[in-house]
């Protein structure tokens, strides 16, 4: 396949994914050749971002299963979170978060990091801290018109905005620079029933490692990080499928709550 035809295929897939999201049309199969690599996935994602035209307010970071790291050359993937799909739930209310029905929908308890100024340093999980100006609790909403998005490998997931459909900003962690975030207990509830509990010790090198990964990945793609950009650092307790009409709530450190209500698009 020539470079021109590869670009054309990526744009065609991006257009189809974008149309399905815009028209709320379920996809029973992937609309084109499935990407074999993260580079192919990000080519599709880049086309979709350009065609979409909305402002990006953040990026989600997801983990790639250990048995797939060798094949895909990394242990994380990313996708954009658009500003008009970011809701503030820090005051204790439960914002409405729409999902694709039918399609895939899940809620994930996550630590959210807000970038300040990001320079051209070769950041790691320690040095990226200097680029962070706020840390919050939150919930990422994962949703796609393609119900099988997570069944065909991380490149397919990454190609459709990383399977993102919004972000709920929870209360801030005021003492985050001194807090032991890695060992902070996190629990996730759907309709009041606990569906998961864990600490960030399961998250590779933790939320700051996710931020460093994002800085490196976006730089390689030629995408700048504007001050105020959020990074949803990864599912702490797992990916919890959810249905329209249900509520999701995450509990951090036994005392910080953030929740939302799920509705159909």
52 CB burial (10 A radius; 0-12, 13-18, 19+): middle
CA dihedral 252, 257, 263, 265 (to 10 degrees): -60
pLDDT for position 7: 78
Contact 237, 198 (CB under 8 A): yes
- The Cα–Cα gap between 56 and 54 comes to 6
**Tens of pLDDT along 192-219?**
999 999 999 999 999 999 999 999 999 9
pLDDT band per the 50, 70, 90 thresholds, residue 40: very high
Tell which residue, 48, 114, 87, has the closest CA to residue 168: 87
**Tens of pLDDT along 219-254?**
999 999 999 999 999 999 999 999 999 999 999 999
- The Cα–Cα gap between 264 and 37 comes to 31
Q: Give percent of the chain with pLDDT exceeding 90.
A: 96
Give 189's strand partners. 194, 249
Q: In the predicted model, what is the mean pLDDT of the chain? A: 96
The CATH class of 3-264 is: alpha beta
pTM, full prediction: 0.95
pLDDT for position 6: 65
Helix (H, G, I), strand (E, B) or coil at 181: helix
Structure tokens at 155: 């490149």
Question: What letters, b where the CB count within 10 A reaches 16 and e where it falls short, cover 221-243?
Answer: eebebeeebbbbbbbbbebbebe
Angle between helices 38-52 and 3-23 (to 10 degrees): 60
Contact 234, 64 (CB under 8 A): no
- The Cα–Cα gap between 127 and 12 comes to 39
For residue 12, give Cα distances in angstroms to 30, 38, 39, 189: 12, 17, 16, 38
Owner of token pair 């929870």? 170
- The Cα–Cα gap between 96 and 262 comes to 6
Structure tokens at 46: 């880049």
Contact 114, 141 (CB under 8 A): no
Candidate from 56-65, 118-127, 207-216 with smallest mean pLDDT: 118-127
Tell which residue, 98, 229, 259, has the closest CA to residue 165: 98
- Which ranges in the chain belong to alpha helices (H)? 3-23, 38-52, 69-72, 154-159, 206-220
């Amino acid at each position: 396949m020539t470079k021109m035809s590869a670009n054309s295929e990526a744009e065609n897939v991006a257009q189809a994914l974008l149309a399905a999201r815009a028209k709320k049309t379920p996809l029973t199969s992937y609309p084109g050749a499935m990407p074999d690599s993260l580079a192919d996935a990000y080519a599709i994602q880049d086309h979709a971002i350009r065609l979409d035209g909305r402002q990006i307010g953040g990026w989600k970071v997801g983990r790639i299963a250990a048995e797939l790291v060798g094949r895909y050359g990394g242990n994380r993937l990313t996708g954009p979170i658009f500003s008009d799909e970011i809701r503030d739930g820090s005051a204790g209310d439960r914002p409405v978060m729409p999902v694709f029905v039918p399609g895939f929908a899940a809620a994930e308890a996550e630590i959210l990091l807000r970038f300040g100024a990001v320079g051209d340093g070769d950041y790691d999980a320690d040095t990226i801290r200097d680029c962070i100006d706020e840390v919050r609790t939150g919930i990422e909403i994962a949703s796609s018109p393609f119900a099988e998005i997570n069944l065909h490998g991380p490149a397919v997931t990454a190609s459709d905005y990383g399977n993102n459909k919004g972000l709920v900003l929870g209360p801030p962690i005021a003492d985050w620079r001194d807090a032991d975030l890695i060992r902070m207990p996190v629990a996730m509830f759907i309709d009041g029933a606990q569906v998961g509990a864990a600490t960030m010790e399961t998250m590779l090198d933790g939320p700051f490692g996710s931020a460093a990964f994002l800085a490196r990945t976006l730089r390689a793609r030629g995408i700048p990080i504007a001050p105020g950009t959020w990074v949803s650092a990864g599912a702490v307790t797992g990916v919890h499928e959810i249905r329209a009409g249900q509520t999701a709530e995450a509990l951090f450190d036994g005392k910080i709550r953030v929740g939302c209500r799920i509705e159909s698009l």
